[in-house]
Amino acid sequence: MRTLRNKKFLLVLLLIAVAGFLRFFKLGEYPVVLNHDEISQIYETASIVQTGKDIYGNFLPLAFPSTGDYKPGHYIYLSTLPYLIFGDQEATIRVTAAFFGTLTVLGVFLFVKALTQNWKIAYLSGIMVAFTPSEIFYSRKSFEGVIGESLIFFGLFALLKGRYIGALLLGLSMYVYTSYIIVVPLLLLFFLRKRFLPLLLIWLAVTLPLVLLIATNQDLRFRAGSVFITQDPNFQGSLDYIFNRYLNQFDPTYLFLNGLNLTDQGVVGMGPLLLLQLPFLILGLFRVNRLLVGLMIVSVIPSAVTFEQHSPHRATLFFAALSIISALGLHWFIITSRKPCHFMAGLNAKVITVFRGKPGGAVRSGFLQFLVNFLRKPRTFSPRKFIRKWFVLLPFLIAGFLLNFVYFVRIYTVSYPYEKSQSLHYPFVEIAKFAWLKYQNFDGIVIDPKFGDVAPETAVAVHYYLAFYGNYPPAKLQGQLKLGEMSFDKFSIRPVNWGKDKNLQNTLIIASPWSIPVNSLDKEKIIKTFYFYNGVPAYYAIGL
Amino acid sequence: MKIAPSVIMLLVLAAFLRFFPIDFPFFTEAETRIAVRGYSLATTGKDELGRNLPLIFNSLTDYQLPAVSYLTSLGVVLFGKSDLAVRIPFILIGLGIVFLTYRLGGWWAGFAAGSSTLLIFLSKVPNEAIVLTFLFTLLYIVVSRPVINIKIFLALLGLLVLVSKTAWFLIPVFVIFAAGKIRFKLFLISGIFCAAALIIFLQIPQGWRSLQENNFQGFAAASIQNGIDRLRGQGIQSGWPPVAEKIFFNKSWFLTAGIFNWFSSFSPGILFGPLDNMGVWPKAAIIPFILGLFRAKSLIGLSLIMTLPFLFTYPDIDKSMLVASVPFMALIVAAGFKSLKTFFKILVAGALMFELIINLLNPVSLRPTWIKQIAYDAYELSLKNNVVVSDDIISDITPFLYWHTPLLPGENLKQPFPYKIRQTEIGDNLKVVGWENTFYICGADKPTSIIASRRDLKKIQIDHRITYEKQYKNDQGEVAAFLMPDKICVH
Q: How far is A310 from chain B (nearest CA, A)?
A: 13
What is the rounded CA–CA span in Å between residue B26 and residue B32?
A: 9
- Based on the fold, state whether residues A370 and A276 are members of the same structural domain: no
Task: Report pTM.
Answer: 0.87
Last residue of a domain, one of A282, A309, A333: A333
Structural domain contains residue A289: yes
Q: For B257, which of A267, A347, A350 is closest by C-beta distance? A: A267
Last residue of a domain, one of A419, A438, A468: A419
Cβ neighbours of A286 in B, within 8 Å: 293-294, 297
Q: What is the pLDDT of residue B289?
A: 94
Q: Is B205 on the interface with A (CB under 8 A)?
A: no
- Based on the fold, state whether residues A157 and A197 are members of the same structural domain: yes
Chain A, nearest residue to B259 by Cα: A253
Q: Radius of gyration (Cα) for chain A, nearest Å?
A: 27
Higher pLDDT, A80 or B277: A80
Structural domain contains residue A437: yes
Chain A contact probe: residue of B267, B313, B319 with most A CBs at under 10 A: B267
What is the rounded CA–CA span in Å between residue B121 and residue B27?
A: 11
- Based on the fold, state whether residues A511 and A482 are members of the same structural domain: yes
- Based on the fold, state whether residues A308 and A344 are members of the same structural domain: no
Q: Is B9 on the interface with A (CB under 8 A)?
A: no
- Residue A328 phi, psi (nearest 5): -60, -45
Cβ neighbours of A370 in B, within 8 Å: 176, 180-182
- Based on the fold, state whether residues A111 and A196 are members of the same structural domain: yes
Q: For A363, which of B104, B231, B260 is closest by C-beta distance? A: B104
The mean per-residue pLDDT over the stretch A487-499 comes to: 92
Cβ neighbours of A365 in B, within 8 Å: 180, 297-299, 301-302
Would you call A252 and B267 a contact, using CB atoms and an 8 Å cutoff? Answer: yes
Q: Is B234 on the interface with A (CB under 8 A)?
A: yes
- Based on the fold, state whether residues A282 and A362 are members of the same structural domain: no
**Chain B residues 428-467 with a CB less than 8 Å from chain A:** none
A411 DSSP 8-state letter: I
Q: What is the pLDDT of residue A366?
A: 56
- Buried/exposed A437-474: b ≥16 CB within 10 Å, e otherwise: ebeeebebbbbbbbbbbeeeeebbbbbbbbbbbbebeb
Q: Is B246 on the interface with A (CB under 8 A)?
A: no
**Chain B residues 65-84 with a CB less than 8 Å from chain A:** none
Q: Number of CB pairs < 8 Å for A and B?
A: 154
Q: What is the pLDDT of residues A333-362, one digit of tens each?
A: 888 765 555 555 555 555 555 444 444 444
| Average predicted confidence (pLDDT) for chain A | 87
Q: For B180, which of A369, A410, A415 is closest by C-beta distance? A: A369
Q: Is B177 on the interface with A (CB under 8 A)?
A: yes
pLDDT band at A529 (very low <50, low <70, confident <90, very high): very high
- Domain count for chain A, please give it: 3
In this predicted structure, the answer to whether residue A372 has a pLDDT above a threshold of 80 is no
Q: What is the pLDDT of residue A220?
A: 67
Length of chain A: 544
Cβ neighbours of A373 in B, within 8 Å: 181
Contact (CB, 8 A) for B324 and B133: yes
Would you call A250 and B256 a contact, using CB atoms and an 8 Å cutoff? Answer: no
Q: Is B233 on the interface with A (CB under 8 A)?
A: no
Structural domain contains residue A199: yes
Q: What is the pLDDT of residues A249-280, one digit of tens each?
A: 999 999 999 999 999 999 999 999 999 999 99
Q: Where are the alpha helices (DSSP H) in B204-248?
A: 207-214, 222-237, 242-248
Would you call A360 and B334 a contact, using CB atoms and an 8 Å cutoff? Answer: yes
Last residue of a domain, one of A419, A447, A469: A419
Report how far Cα B443 is from the mean position of its chain's Cα atoms: 46
Cβ neighbours of B303 in A, within 8 Å: none
Neighbours of B345 (CB within 10 A): 17
What is the rounded CA–CA span in Å between residue A72 and residue A181?
A: 13
> B388 pairs with which residues across the strands?
B431, B450
Where are the strands (E) in A6-72, listed by range? 63-64, 71-72
In this predicted structure, the answer to whether residue A442 has a pLDDT above a threshold of 80 is yes
Structural domain contains residue A80: no
Chain A, nearest residue to B101 by Cα: A360
Structural domain contains residue A515: yes
Chain A contact probe: residue of B224, B230, B270, B302 with most A CBs at under 10 A: B230
B393's CB contacts (< 8 A; 6+ apart) are B371, B374, B451, B453, B472, B480, B481
Cβ neighbours of B182 in A, within 8 Å: 370
CA B17 vs CA B11, B107, B478: distances in Å: 10, 17, 32
Structural domain contains residue A47: no
- Based on the fold, state whether residues A176 and A310 are members of the same structural domain: yes
Strand A507-511 and strand A537-543: pairing?
antiparallel
Q: What is the pLDDT of residues A22-50, one digit of tens each?
A: 999 999 999 999 999 999 999 999 999 99
Strand B448-452 and strand B386-390: pairing?
parallel
Q: How far is A367 from chain B (nearest CA, A)?
A: 5
- The ipTM, to two decimals, is 0.85
**Chain B residues 302-331 with a CB less than 8 Å from chain A:** 302, 314-315, 331
- Residue A63 phi, psi (nearest 5): -120, 135
- Based on the fold, state whether residues A305 and A354 are members of the same structural domain: no
Give the residue numbers spanning the domain of A409. Answer: 338-419
B447 DSSP 8-state letter: P
Q: What is the pLDDT of residues B102-158, one digit of tens each?
A: 999 999 999 999 999 999 999 999 999 999 999 999 999 999 888 889 999 999 999
Q: What is the pLDDT of residue B267?
A: 86
Contact (CB, 8 A) for A262 and B227: no
Q: What is the pLDDT of residue A190?
A: 85
In this predicted structure, the answer to whether residue A285 has a pLDDT above a threshold of 80 is yes
pLDDT band at A312 (very low <50, low <70, confident <90, very high): very high
Neighbours of B178 (CB within 10 A): 22
- Based on the fold, state whether residues A262 and A369 are members of the same structural domain: no
Percent residues over pLDDT 90 in chain A: 62
Would you call A410 and B260 a contact, using CB atoms and an 8 Å cutoff? Answer: no
Candidate from A173-182, A225-234, B52-61 with smallest mean pLDDT: A225-234
- The torsion angle over the Cα atoms of residues A158, A161, A167 and A171, rounded to 10 degrees, is 30
Cβ neighbours of A368 in B, within 8 Å: 298, 301
- Based on the fold, state whether residues A320 and A408 are members of the same structural domain: no
Structural domain contains residue A140: yes
Would you call B298 and A368 a contact, using CB atoms and an 8 Å cutoff? Answer: yes
Q: What is the pLDDT of residue B319?
A: 80
Q: What is the pLDDT of residue A457?
A: 92
- Based on the fold, state whether residues A316 and A210 are members of the same structural domain: yes
Regions of chain B where pLDDT drops below 50: none
Would you call A362 and B177 a contact, using CB atoms and an 8 Å cutoff? Answer: no
Q: What is the pLDDT of residue A153?
A: 97
Chain A, nearest residue to B282 by Cα: A240
A289 DSSP 8-state letter: -
Structural domain contains residue A55: no
> A71 pairs with which residues across the strands?
A64
Cβ neighbours of A268 in B, within 8 Å: 224, 227-228, 231, 249, 253
Q: For A251, which of B253, B269, B293 is closest by C-beta distance? A: B269
Q: For A366, which of B180, B260, B314 is closest by C-beta distance? A: B180
- Buried/exposed A360-380: b ≥16 CB within 10 Å, e otherwise: bebbbbbbbbbbbeebeeeee
- Based on the fold, state whether residues A316 and A351 are members of the same structural domain: no
